[in-house]
Chain A
Amino acid sequence: MVEGKILKVSGPLVVAEGMREANMFDVVHVGEQKLIGEIIEMHGDRASIQVYEETAGIGRGDKVVSTGAPLSVELGPGLIKNIYDGIQRPLESIRQKVGSNITKGISEPALDRSRLWHFETDLKFGDKVKAGDAFGYVSETEVIRHKILVPPTQSGTIVDIRSGDFKVTDTVGRLKLPDGTIVDIKLMQKWPVRVARPYTEKLPPVEPMITGQRSIDALFPIAKGGTACVPGPFGAGKTVVQHQLAKWSDVDIVIYIGCGERGNEMTDVLREFPELTDPRTGKSLMERTVLIANTSDMPVAAREASIYTGITIAEYYRDMGYNVAVIADSTSRWAEALREMSGRLEEMPGEEGYPAYLTSRLAQFYERAGKVICLGSDARIGTLSAIGAVSPAGGDISEPVTQATLRIVKVFWGLDSALAYKRHFPAINWLNSYSLYRDRLSEWFSDNVSKNWMDLTARCLKILQIESGLEEIVKLVGMDALSADDRLTMEVARSVREDFLQQFAFDEVDGFTQLDKQYALMELIFSFEDRARKAVAEGADIEKLVSLPVRERIGRAKSVPYATYKAEYEKIENEMAEQIAELVQACKED
């Protein structure tokens, strides 16, 4: 055990001497209170340590003890439904232990040591297992069957294994490695957070992650195993978008990382998710959620770690063959934590004071996402999708964090304050956002929703693009100057915006829209366009056309419940045909 003495304290950075024997990235205990820190630089026998807790009260001469192990997370049953801080300390147990404020130097195991889990296994003496195979199962929640995996570094022959009720630290069996050593099998294993968990092979993602958010699914879809970012100024609705994704995405597990954000937002998730039902399983949404909370008032160094803690837990569930989504809010705060540590280390700054390695660190994080063939004999497939919010300073996306992120991720949902001011939510700007998965996912959408899905969504994008051009003209010469056809284009574009893209997150029906209903809604809007265009050609008055009563019905179509939408939309369609026909008839008679 290496023990050194503190030389220097400057905020979250501590320098200790006498640390020659310690390893880089070892976890250390700092001072009498045993604050947790991590070695991030070595110079001779001096180690620079970033401390994950408030360092007030630490001084020269205090001792630093290395634990000899890198920063790791505990992986095993009991992760789901829990809320952790950036270095995986369970916040609920801490609350029960020390009250409602987080004091220093608390150590509390991440997984409940006293809880019994029922472990079931089909394996028996003499069975051969390799890395990534399942020893057995634990029902972690009503919806998650937790596979107890052979650690990625081991394989061998089962010497002893049994089903039964166990604590996470109990030995459920023993495994004989090829070199003859025998290791205990436990429900829990550890993994260093800065190392990506291995897999057999990475595959290109071809299936969409369905979010129920119309502007995302229809216009800018994300794939299962894909990466996306949501940049936007404050007040544009980043957090609501992230919450919606955490609530409604069709994945098995959601890891929500609140990184340097508001405490109340985490509380919101913590209090609201247990009340919400997952539309796919019928169970509470909390049954599939793990929360990592390092709020903005918590120590800044732990914010840096929180991203890695989150994604490592996500990889662990991916390795069981689940579809996992990691939602990080916000990666800008994480980058700021990097910047602060870099500044304290007196490194030469890159752009805007951020360290030169910002891009490579971001890339490392997002590259841990993907669709993979997991380790193990059954070659199961798991996906890990990563979605990061970015909070660009002043809402200006030319700043380094946004730009570095855009070079890596494949989907860009750009939030726009101008839309937010008009209360157009989600305020995803359709002109500059993009999804590089559109083509790759087109086959899935054609097979599973409708052959015309891609055409209709392309038509939405196109009409919005044309609208922005026409708007310029209107600003110069007024609406009157437009031809009837262009007037109609403007009206249909407005309909796409207001009746399709706008979605009220807090509404019971509107918060989540199934793909077939999304499709039907688009069909309804464009059916109006087709009929109206024909009517205009036949001489119908454009003013009368756009003020037909059926348009209000289209406007409210999104809030028709899923159960009845087919019949309802058909009625609207019929009314539309009738009203337009009447109008054309009346024109002809004039």
Chain B
Amino acid sequence: METLELTQEEQFQARIDADERIEPKDWMPDAYRKTLIRQISQHAHSELVGMLPEGNWITRAPSLKRKAILLAKVQDEAGHGLYLYSAAETLGASRDQMLADLHSGKAKYSSIFNYPTLSWADIGCVGWLVDGAAILNQVPLCRTSYGPYARAMVRVCKEESFHQRQGFEIMQTLCEGAPEQKAMAQEAFNRWWWPTLMMFGPKDEDSPNTERSMQWRIKRFTNDELRQKFVDMMVPQAEFLGLQVPDKDLHWNEDKKAYDFGEVNWDEFWQVVKGNGLCNHDRLQARVQAHEDGAWVREAALAHARKRAEKAVS
């Protein structure tokens, strides 16, 4: 029995190595399934909770155009969450259970959403920086080994690039505006730069799951590789906007043709992961309340559907 199991696992790895996609009903190691459920549901939770800091600004967007755009963006985030929950369900996870785990605090979501959005410039930073980092994380996931996850990510990535551009446009408008607007942009940038670098996760040596996820081709790049890419991509954009990157150790390294940059504050990172960030409590409370406030709608819809089905039979 044991040798048979081993053979199956070897066959599975051979399929992965040949860059074949794994589909829902295929045999897969339990740990592969568990890792994916954890990663995909965590990703879905992030989309869901990610609506909160931005939803916060829908009523206060500076113009009707900005309001309509932000509304569409927040709606997209809800859609992304739904694509991802569906992908996780193909692995046997239940939607109710995933939501229950989010609401009880058992499941994690991206720590970035535990930071507050204090000014309109924060909405610019969320789109430009946070979605920019998300895109870097997500583009390689379009080729991840699990088919339904990869297909969901293709749709997410298509939509995400509008998000980043709208954020950049907000920042550009502020940076080209009055000195007060420029200062607002710089102040928001100062607060978001480091937390965005944390979005790529702990350093490679502190990320125990990375190696196996790479072997299974769930992940295609390490956390540090993506973080470096992000810095190299964003510094010229910040320069274009005339924004000062809040990192005194940042400088171009001609030998490696990339930027050297300072150390992320990992104490802060772990504090926020553990639930002690500025907004952890508020975010979770808002999510739970939205879910509970909607309970009667879910029950009524189900009762209505049942009643109609019974009528159709009789």
Mutual binders A and B = no
Q: Residues on B close to A: CB < 8 A?
A: none
Q: Residues on A close to B: CB < 8 A?
A: none
